[in-house]
Amino acid sequence: MTVAVVTDSTAYLPAELSGTYDLTVVPLTVVINGDSGLEGSEITPTEVARALNARRAEVSTSRPAPEQFAEAYRKLLAAGADGVVSIHLSAQLSGTYDAACLAAAEVGEQVRVVDSQTTGMGLGFVALGAATIAREGGTLDEVRAGAIDHTARTSTLFYVDTLEFLRRGGRIGAAEALVGTALSVKPILHVVDGAIVLRDKVRTAGRALAKLVDLAVDASGTGEVDIAVHHLGLPDRAAALADAVSMRMGDRLRDCYITEIGAVVAAHVGPGVAGVVVHRR
């Protein structure tokens, strides 16, 4: 049995893994001042950051249409796949999962949809894990179960300069947004059951990044782990963050990736974001 794995463009897989795994990626859309484009091919994170810094620009995002998913599923099945496991960013953060479910209902029982309950490489690690099981000959149920298992073994932590962009997009509550703006507090957030939740707060960006390292190490447990460090236009800071986490984890660390977040997440977190995703093997 051949199982195909589908994900969406917010997985932000590192360039060095391009072509290594058999994944179909369905893109989300970003709209800047009324002009829309597909994430990953037509709209870049740099364009989004520039628009957000301009302050007057209107930036929004939209999910793929169910028809886009249905077309991808039918193409994979027609090419010989016996089933499809479709894995997407948290249903609490986007309508992408719902769109995939609508498409799956239309195509039939050969398609199973999984909510990763996160985004970025939190989603990416889940998709890679599912693709590995599929490559090893896993059945449709085994690939779906593997995706759910990898979801439970992944933690997403991130720092933002301000919660204003998350508040505007409705991705975080107004009360938590107020905490993040009081007295120039620098917020650290994590994703819990698919929702973005305030995890901690410190006084400076430097302390926030140091705290992010501590929290990532705590989330790693005692076994082997992979990590991914996300940034938006700040590769040097991301490299320093990756080095700090790697030093603390030592021999338990297997793979470490540094990858820029894409346009969709950039639109909601704003410039200055730094994230660490921990995947417990």
* pLDDT band, very low/low/confident/very high, at 183 (cuts 50, 70, 90): low
Question: What pTM value is reported for the model?
Answer: 0.93
pLDDT-derived band at 180, boundaries 50, 70, 90: low
Q: Judging by DSSP bridges, how do beta strands 59-62 and 29-32 pair with one another? A: antiparallel
CB atoms < 10 A from the CB of 91, how many? Answer: 17
Topology at the third CATH level for domain 154-280? Hypothetical Protein Tm841; Chain: A;domain 3 (3.30.1180)
Residue with tokens 């993040």: 180
Kindly list the domain boundaries of the chain, sorted by start residue: 3-28+63-152, 154-280
Task: Check: CB of residue 271 under 8 Å from CB of residue 240.
Answer: no
- Measured torsion, CA atoms of residues 187, 217, 192, 16, in degrees rounded to the nearest 10: 100
Which residues have CB under 8 Å from 45's CB, separation 6+?
232, 233, 260, 261, 262, 263, 266
pLDDT digits (tens, 9 = 90+) for 225-252: 999 999 998 999 999 999 999 999 999 9
Predicted local confidence at residue 248, as pLDDT? 96
CATH number of 3-28+63-152: 3.40.50.10170
Note the pLDDT of residue 57: 75
Beta-carbon count within 10 A of 172 CB: 24
Per-residue pLDDT tens for 140-176?
Answer: 999 999 999 999 999 999 998 877 777 766 666 655 5
Computed over every residue of the chain, the mean pLDDT equals 92
- Cα–Cα distance, 64 to 57 (Å, whole number): 23
What pLDDT is recorded for position 271? 85
What average pLDDT score do residues 84-95 get? 97
Is 269's pLDDT higher than 80? Answer: yes
In sequence order, the 6+-apart residues with CB closer than 8 A to the CB of 269 are: 158, 160, 165, 166, 232, 261
